[in-house]
Chain A
Amino acid sequence: EAQVTQNPRYLITVTGKKLTVTCSQNMNHEYMSWYRQDPGLGLRQIYYSMNVEVTDKGDVPEGYKVSRKEKRNFPLILESPSPNQTSLYFCASSLSGTGAGNTIYFGEGSWLTVV
């Protein structure tokens, strides 16, 4: 079954404590991306990756890091989380990007609260 798997699904953490949200896809997709969703603001892209070792900033990359060392994994790293990073995070993937013929698959989401 085609899947994008995120972990953890729910997390409460304290300001400044580094955390990583993992994302894994089983479809051999080249394109992976992270979004955050906040009420009234819709989805905002944090980072995206076109392939292994190729990453680029989205709309709101400040305070986040990513890495793409393997094709299937695209972890999101919060080096020093702050309360304004409390949000619902989604990982997504597609075969080759945002062009024709692509279907974008989303993970189930990770609720992150920073206190």
Chain B
Amino acid sequence: SYEVTQPPSVSVSPGQTASISCSGDDLGDKYTCWYQHKPGQSPVLVIYQDTKRPSGIPERFSGSNSGNTATLTISGTQTMDEADYYCQAWDSGTVVFGGGTKLTVL
């Protein structure tokens, strides 16, 4: 079965740029999404179709996908962005989540 891999943790200083990677075989040929998940809350879609932001998501969130790697980039990271982030892809009609990356802003 298809798998996507994320780093367990990423740290960033406030105001700096955070990049979270998601790797999988020929991932660039598939659409990816990214979700932000804070404790006690439901996940929030922040990027879909590799690069698109849903209404209400700040412009500092952006995405890219090429080759074997998709990347979520948060520019000017704020303390409120501290959360777990999950990438998600499709494979033959099934949904595949990455293991999640804990983003620490300090």
User: Are A and B interaction partners?
Assistant: no
Residues of A in contact with B (beta carbons under 8 Å apart): none
